[in-house]
């Protein structure tokens, strides 16, 4: 089955620790995105990538880092510089094109210990 | 000014009634508009997309787009308890490299 796989489903971070969220897609999509969602809020864009080895900051990139070494993979690292990391993180992918929808993974809930 | 605004609070509707949700956007050059449904703790799923002015119907859902007034709406007819969810409006701005901008969502509660 084609789709987007995010792991882990739940993740706990200790103070001062970096953690990495995994996102893998087998839809052959060029573009991949990371969004953050806080309770009762919409999705805010962290980083996005339209091609391998290239990515751009979204609206709330501070405290996060990404890489795009393979078309299928777009991991997100939440660094210790992100002081309020507790949120629901969603990875999405889609074809390049103005009329195309996004496909979402099942999400990772990150909490601080 | 926010790119996408959904301002109304939680909406409670009796089962079988019509739920109406509204969304406004700031970029007049936007061409693609989407409604996603999100159940608590789950990822968003696309329920409607619309690109041209007017109405688009799909089952019990109708999306309406008015580019001159920069708003897009979603109607849910014959609301069912399974429609209880948060509905997110998403717009693809004409700038910004193909990303989607999302509103904060509207929670709908269908009362049996």
Residue A14 has pLDDT above 80, yes or no: yes
pLDDT in tens, A63-81: 999 999 999 999 999 999 9
For residue A96, the chain B residue with the least C-alpha distance is B98
Do residues A77 and A65 lie in contact, with contact meaning Cβ atoms separated by under 8 Å? yes
Q: Which residues of chain A have a CB within 8 Å of the CB of B46? A: 101-102
Q: Which of A6, A7, A21, A43 to mutate to test the interface with B (most CBs of B within 10 A)?
A: A43
pLDDT in tens, A21-76: 999 999 999 999 999 999 878 899 999 999 999 999 999 999 999 999 999 999 99
Q: Which residues of chain A have a CB within 8 Å of the CB of B51? A: 99
């Amino acid at each position: 089955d084609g789709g987007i796989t995010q792991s882990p489903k739940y993740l706990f971070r200790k103070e001062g620790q970096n953690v990495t969220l995994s996102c893998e897609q087998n839809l052959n999509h060029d573009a991949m995105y990371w969004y953050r969602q806080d309770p009762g809020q919409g999705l805010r864009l962290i980083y996005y990538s339209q091609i391998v080895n290239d990515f751009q900051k979204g609206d709330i990139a501070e405290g996060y880092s990404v890489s795009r070494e393979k078309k299928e993979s777009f991991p997100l690292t939440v660094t210790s510089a992100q002081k309020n990391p507790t949120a629901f993180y969603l990875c999405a992918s889609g074809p390049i094109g103005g009329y195309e929808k996004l496909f979402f993974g099942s999400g990772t809930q990150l909490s601080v210990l | 000014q926010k790119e996408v605004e959904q301002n109304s609070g939680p909406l409670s509707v009796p089962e079988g009634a019509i739920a109406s949700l509204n969304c406004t956007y700031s970029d007049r050059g936007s061409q693609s508009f989407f409604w996603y449904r999100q159940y608590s703790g789950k990822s968003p799923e696309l329920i409607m997309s619309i690109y041209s002015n007017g109405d688009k119907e799909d089952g019990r859902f109708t999306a309406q787009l008015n580019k001159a007034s920069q708003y897009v709406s979603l109607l849910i007819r014959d609301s069912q308890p399974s429609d209880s969810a948060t509905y997110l409006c998403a717009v693809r701005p004409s700038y910004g490299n193909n990303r989607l901008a999302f509103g904060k969502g509207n929670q709908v509660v269908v009362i049996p």
